[in-house]
Amino acid sequence: MVRERSPESWRVLTVPNAISFARLLGVPVFLWLMLGPVHYDLAAVVVLAVGGGTDWVDGYVARRFDQGSRLGQLLDPLADRLYILATLAALTIREIVPWQFTAALLAREVVVGVWLPVLRRYGYGPPPVHYIGKTGTFVLLMAFPTLLLSAATSGTVHTWAYAAGWALGIWGLALYWLSGVLYLWQIFSLIREARQESRV
């Protein structure tokens, strides 16, 4: 990883950025469906499944058609985090997931997040997104609509969705924390290198 330089492209009007913006618009729609005066859980499942299932699409389009941009690099993880935070908030408020699960996910964000300003003081931006982190995010974004489906149904569908949702949720939580440990290792390595350079 190199120190931050001027972004090579701040293009806005690209297909990947449009996809990311569309995903961002899905967040308030999902919250309204979940927490509004009337609950539309099955519709919320669809919105969440589409938002999570298209997580890889913007990146693929950017690489395939050479439409990568600095804005896109910021929008994609922003959309991921907003979906995770919004979904966690809604599912916790509705008591579909326990607060302990939510706290475990948020703790990872806090642990990594407190070191980013320190890293920036040494001239570095956030570490690049690791594939383990992307995988963990994708698994979580599949776990949430599955857990919501289990809450919105009964019988066999409920049983299978509940089991599958928690299997995905626990797996995603483990991957999310593993990626957090890797980010911390990157951050500490960069800080150590910067300090060594300053002594030369």
Number of helical H runs and strand E runs in the chain: 8, 0
pLDDT at position 68 is 63
CB 102 within 8 A of CB 88: yes
Separation between Cα atoms, residue 99 and residue 90, nearest integer Å:
11
Q: Where are the domains of the chain?
A: 15-199
Mean pLDDT by 10 residues, the chain (200 residues): 47 73 87 92 89 71 67 73 88 94 93 86 79 88 92 94 96 95 90 79
192: tokens are 């150590």
For the record, the structure tokens of 92 come out as 């916790």
pTM reported for the whole predicted model: 0.78
15-199: CATH topology? Four Helix Bundle (Hemerythrin (Met), subunit A) (1.20.120)
